[in-house]
Amino acid sequence: MATGVALKSLRLNNLLSASCVKALASQCRSFTSQLTEQQKEYQALSKEFADKYLKPNAAKHDLEGRFPFDVIKKLTATGLMGACVDEEYGGKGLDYLTLAVAVEELSRGCASTGMIVSIHNFLYANLVNEKGTPEQKDLFLRDYTKGSLGCFALSEPGAGTDVASIRTRAKKDGDHWILNGEKSWVTTAVEGSANIIFATFDPELKHKGIACFLVPMDVDGVFRGRKEAIMSVSACSRAVTSCALTLEDVRVPQSYLVGEPGEGFKIAMEQLDQGRIGIAAHAVGIAQAALDTAINYAKERQAFGKPLSRLPSVKDRLTDMCILVETARLATYRAATEVSTKNSAMAKYIAGRNAAAVADHCVQILGGKGLSTRYSAERHYRDARGTQIYGGVTDIQKRLVGHFLLKEHDAL
């Protein structure tokens, strides 16, 4: 309050230049980690759901590669499959932080389920809700708060992080568009009912030539590839599926175009800012699960006549794990509250690296049992590693943070 009054006085009296006022204002901090009552309610709801339905079956779903259809059906009843969607389209109208808190708790119980909820909401439902026309929302959103799954198809065999290099082509044909190309690592595409497809109508224009389309999975010319086999939930070989999509003369009406031709790159970047929040929350949940596993084991395991938790080396590891989890959680809450490329990239970078470190500590504390598939430590290790890859590798997140940091200080 005092800072705001001081700045107002400075402006009125012209004692500082506009640039100085801006510099001082940028140092004000409004973020708080305190959750609202509604956010606490959804946190408790998600934790209860995870403890009852997810944690007991997580290992089985992981080992069998079984998609959790029954779990998603139950989640639909809670409203979390349309958490931020407007109520008129069947959603709950919640904020990003509430959704992030829910994803964290669900991921703590089952990383695969947390991943499904994260991608369906942050990358698909939120995009249609915020950028879709009323007609598009009726067709591609209303049913997607009731159990239908939506997908986000951006990556290609030759274009992952370098979005401007995508080669899926979109050709205008009267009041329709014809799409041809191949998409990679499309999460839940095997079970999904619709896709958000990014394609270029002019490769020479690079990022200015990209358009965004809503494409039903059952239209002619859409072909699913085989389910990918990968080490972790990332992109996702276990209980969550991932596959390639081939588009052969896929014909969609003009009304399925999101925004205007040439706005696809901007739409993708804005949505990835949201997606990174979901991945960060997902990573925090995995890290918390690993910390819980390590603490429970250290309390019960006896070594040298006392619980493992009383050994200095183990106590130090548990302390480090706690610090890493809390640091990642705070960065994630900040990103969900104050959405920006810098904040979301920083949250994903911190949460992904920290989750991998926490999971590594967990395996080390369990020793030989940490390597066994009969214990959850090795699953947490695999799941945590994936959070450093999908949604943009950690190297790119670090570069994004650096770029916007220098931009804020006019140092580019």
pLDDT in tens, 331-356: 999 999 999 999 999 999 999 999 99
Is residue 24's pLDDT more than 60?
Answer: no
SS3 250: strand
DSSP 156: B
Q: Could you state, in order of their start, the residue ranges of all structural domains in the chain?
A: 37-145, 150-264, 266-408
Helix or strand (DSSP H, E) at 183: strand 176-187
CA distances for 257 relative to 103, 142, 210, angstroms: 29, 18, 11
Cα–Cα distance measured from residue 297 to residue 207, given in angstroms and rounded to the nearest whole number:
50
Is residue 17's pLDDT more than 90?
Answer: no
Of the pLDDT bands very low, low, confident and very high (cuts 50, 70, 90), residue 2 is: very low
- Average pLDDT estimate for 183-205: 95
* Token pair for 159: 């274009």
User: What per-residue confidence (pLDDT) applies to 230?
Assistant: 62
Name the CATH architecture for the domain at 266-408. Up-down Bundle (1.20)
239-281 pLDDT tens trace: 677 899 999 999 999 999 999 999 999 999 999 999 999 999 9
- Average pLDDT estimate for 1-13: 44
Written as one string, the DSSP assignment of 267-297 is: HHHHHHHHHHHHHHHHHHHHHHHHHHHHHHH
Is residue 203's pLDDT more than 90?
Answer: yes
Listed in sequence order, the DSSP H helices in 14-145 are 18-25, 37-49, 58-64, 69-78, 96-109, 111-118, 126-131, 134-140
User: What per-residue confidence (pLDDT) applies to 237?
Assistant: 39
Q: Which residues pair with 242 in a beta bridge?
A: 187
Cβ atoms within 10 Å of 312's Cβ, excluding its own: 7
397-409 pLDDT tens trace: 999 999 999 999 9
User: What per-residue confidence (pLDDT) applies to 337?
Assistant: 97
Cβ atoms within 10 Å of 86's Cβ, excluding its own: 15
Is residue 68's pLDDT more than 60?
Answer: yes
CA distances for 99 relative to 92, 283, 332, 394, angstroms: 10, 14, 11, 23
Of the pLDDT bands very low, low, confident and very high (cuts 50, 70, 90), residue 66 is: confident
Average pLDDT, the chain: 90
pTM of the predicted structure, to 2 decimals? 0.90
Is residue 221's pLDDT more than 60?
Answer: yes
Q: Are 142 and 158 in contact (CB under 8 A)?
A: no
Q: Are 54 and 109 in contact (CB under 8 A)?
A: yes
Return the CATH number of the domain spanning residue range 150-264.
Answer: 2.40.110.10
270-298 pLDDT tens trace: 999 999 999 999 999 999 999 999 999 99
CA distances for 34 relative to 88, 97, 197, 330, 369, angstroms: 29, 11, 37, 10, 37
Closest-CA residue to 120 (of 166, 72, 160, 157): 72
Percent of the chain with pLDDT over 70: 90
CATH number 1.10.540.10 given to 37-145? yes
Place of tokens 């205007």: 260
Sign of CA dihedral 327, 359, 120, 84: negative
Cα dihedral 336, 341, 346, 352, rounded to 10, equals 80
Listed in sequence order, the DSSP H helices in 80-131 are 96-109, 111-118, 126-131
Cα dihedral 378, 381, 387, 388, rounded to 10, equals -140
* Token pair for 367: 């020793």
- Average pLDDT estimate for 166-170: 96
Percent of the chain with pLDDT over 90: 81
Closest-CA residue to 161 (of 396, 398, 400): 396
Q: Are 103 and 278 in contact (CB under 8 A)?
A: yes
Is residue 302's pLDDT more than 70?
Answer: yes
Place of tokens 């990003």: 96
Closest-CA residue to 132 (of 180, 161, 91, 172): 91
121-157 pLDDT tens trace: 999 999 999 999 999 999 999 999 999 999 999 999 9
